[in-house]
Structure 1
Amino acid sequence: DVNKENKDGETPLFNVCSSGNELVVKYLVEQGADINQKNRNGETPIFNACSSGNESVVKYLIELDSDVNQENENGETPIFNACSSGNESIVKYLIEVGADVNKKNIEEKKRRYLKHVQIEMKT
């Protein structure tokens, strides 16, 4: 079962999105892996891909309608993970496809960084 969860509520797709193996990601999706399944923290596989800097996997998941504004339990979206990991090209891509750069997380720690990225994108 490609959607079988581990103790953290994650399926194999979460791990493969972290590894960046696009071929295996595509295989799992073809076998019925749910790209919008949430783990115990409310995150979907795109969060892992954004954290790991796997731009091709991020783009593939978005092509399949993965929600770029899906919030985890802290009110964070995938762009927060991309920012935290310093994945500038993914941040830019997420903005291009509609990620909310004005989104505040519960602690509002990353808000300034997102605003900085937004300003940099305009210059």
Structure 2
Amino acid sequence: MEFDMMESGYALIEAVLYENMGMAQKLLESENYDINEADASGRTALHVAACHGNEHVVRLLLENGADINARDKNDNTPLHWCGHSECISILAKYGADFAVRNKIGATAKDMAIRRGVSPEVIDTFERYEQIFVRQGCDRKRMAGEDSISPMWYEFGQELGPKKVFLLVLFLLCFSLYIAYTVTGFSKHVETRLPLKYDSPHYEL
């Protein structure tokens, strides 16, 4: 994933994006500055640091109270944007939720796989997911059994609500037609006169 140029006015996010550590440190030391300030897409400085794999900044932000599970407008947490093993480990140590799913129903590991990250990074995700489950995470939640399949969510997003409604209506009508056809045929078979044993068409 890549970040577009941040809108002006998001000083900490821009400082992290351009790795201006002096400015970032100055802002963090300011009592009136919101470390969890989000840009127009809902992304915080921690999202940016995790995306760029900047271990020092990720740790610095977390030590200063950054929300580790903050969600952007697509419900991605910083972990969803992360593609570096060391940053994953840091986020895990500070309590990142590995079961969180975004709007398409994908976990952070799912998103990493979609981006084609290295096998080492996937192994890191899987190792921490196992630890997360052992520590008490609901297995159903981790497996996504209570969430919409990413494939179906994306399918619905592409079609739009109107076309989805028409598709459902068509499938419903088609199902009723099939049911009527089958039951109608069954009634026809049941009401036919049975063959007599002395009928020339009857054979043992």
- Map residues 12-91 of structure 1 onto 2, 5 A cutoff: 12-49=45-82, 53-87=83-117, 88-91=119-122
How far apart, in 1, do the equivalents of 2:56 and 2:43 lie?
Answer: 19
Relative to total residues, which structure has the larger helix share, 1 or 2?
A: 2
How far apart, in 1, do the equivalents of 2:120 and 2:143 lie?
Answer: 18
Percent pairwise identity: 27
**Which sections of structure 2, spanning at least 5 residues, go unmatched?**
1-33, 131-138, 153-204
Once the two structures are TM-superposed, the CA of residue 106 in structure 1 deviates from its matched residue by: 2.2
Which of 1 and 2 has greater Rg? 2
Please, what is the CA RMSD of the aligned residues?
A: 2.1
Q: Deviations over 1:41-65 (max 9, x none)?
A: 111001111xxx2110011101111
Q: Secondary structure at the match of 1:97?
A: helix
Aligned residues: 106
Query: What TM-score do you get using the length of structure 1 for normalisation?
Result: 0.76
**Which sections of structure 1, spanning at least 5 residues, go unmatched?**
109-123
Higher relative contact order (CA 8 A, sep 6+): 1
Structure 1 moving runs of 4+ over 6 Å: none
How far apart, in 2, do the equivalents of 1:105 and 1:61 lie?
Answer: 26
Q: Deviations over 1:22-41 (max 9, x none)?
A: 00111111111111111111
Q: Deviations over 1:58-108 (max 9, x none)?
A: 111011110111100110000112211222112112222226785473206
Contact 2:88 2:124 in 1 (8 A): no
Query: What TM-score do you get using the length of structure 2 for normalisation?
Result: 0.48
